Homo-oligomer: A and B are copies of this chain.
Amino acid sequence: MDQVRVLSPATVANVVCGFDCLGFALEGPADNMLLSKTSAQDITIIHRDNFGLSTDPTRNVAGVALQAFMDAAGVDHGFELEITKQIMPGSGIGSSSASACGAVVAANLLTGEPFSAHELIELAMAGEAVASGARHADNLAPCILGGFTVVRSAEPLDVIRIESPELYAIVVHPQIEVRTADARTILPQEVPLRSAIKNWSNLAALIAGLYRGDMDLISRCLVDEIVEPARQHLIPLFREVRSAAMSAGSLGGGISGSGPSIFMLANSREAAERVEQAMRDIYSGTDIIFKSYVSRIARDGVRQAE
């Protein structure tokens, strides 16, 4: 096999009470990436989209991840990577992670799968660091493993795939810019112990709710009194959008990653479509440009396309 096409999905990190820890993968949107072996020992990047990302492999997230793969695998050839991004950079649903993960999973498929999923997350982290300036795996882990994932530790990497019932996510992306660095500096350095306890009690119960498939419990746990109060003003009409989603039957949700996308969960596709409409209705009355998506939580991460 000299060529492989993969779909690398959007992901949601910082799932409510699971800040810096809990994430999940969507089925779509997903970046479409065609990787080919080349005889020259270098990397060529071609973009089939209009996001204006660098094609310099040392400055492109997918390129850096691919180089990390090549260094670790010691391959005797090069790669050409043709990317049709569907996940808008800066949307807060793991656009750079999708680039990094898609590149290393495709390279793994083309070279006899020398690396485990865990090792691929490590390699993709090199690419992610180009985009965010930090080694973190909150979007990489669900992008590669699928489903819900807990990142117990990024250094050393320790990620766990969490069982979950069939769930749907609604993502609404208001097209304003939130810089991840700004979203970081806005966070409190210290938090009341009482708030921290409440948060980890909710998170512990949420993990149990996912394993048990208990939708009521999952819904009760989707509470965040630490990060969301500090960040919600970065996102226009955040409270109104979430409130409309809850009234339409959502289980709960919050800020996706560091925003600006808002995600909500629902227990069926029908409920998810009602929730999406309610969220769209809030932004439709404004001049905010936005996109929305409904997707099942993906069982798998990056997948080979037909």
Contacts and interface: CB of A to CB of B under 8 A. Distances in A.
Nearest to A154: B201
Interface string A183-214: 00001111111001101111111111101100
Nearest to A205: B152
A257 to B, nearest CB: 15
Contact of A201 (B20, B205, B208): B20
A152 B202 contact: yes
Interface in A1-36: 17-22
A150 interface: yes
A199 B201 contact: no
Contacts of A193: 187-191, 226
Contacts of A192: 189-190
Contacts of A300: none
Contacts of A151: 201
Contacts of A203: 200, 203-204
A197 B19 contact: yes
A246 interface: no
Nearest to A212: B160
A173 to B, nearest CB: 25
A159 B19 CA distance: 22
A139 to B, nearest CB: 15
Contact of A204 (B21, B163, B217): B21
A70 interface: no
A200 B158 contact: no
B160 A18 contact: no
A220 interface: yes
A39 B141 CA distance: 64
A221 interface: yes
A153 interface: yes
A162 interface: yes
B158 A204 contact: no
Interface string A101-121: 000000000000000000000
27 contacts: A17-B200, A21-B197, A21-B201, A21-B204, A150-B208, A151-B201, A152-B201, A152-B205, A152-B220, A158-B205, A160-B217, A163-B211, A187-B193, A189-B192, A191-B193, A191-B196, A196-B200, A196-B226, A200-B200, A200-B203, A200-B204, A203-B203, A204-B204, A204-B206, A204-B207, A207-B208, A208-B211
Interface of A: 17-22, 150-153, 158, 160, 162-163, 187-193, 196-197, 199-209, 211-212, 217, 220-221, 226
Given A21-B200, A150-B205, A200-B203, 20 more contacts: A17-B200, A18-B204, A19-B197, A20-B197, A22-B204, A150-B201, A150-B208, A152-B221, A160-B209, A162-B208, A190-B190, A190-B191, A191-B191, A191-B193, A200-B200, A200-B204, A204-B206, A207-B208, A207-B211, A208-B211
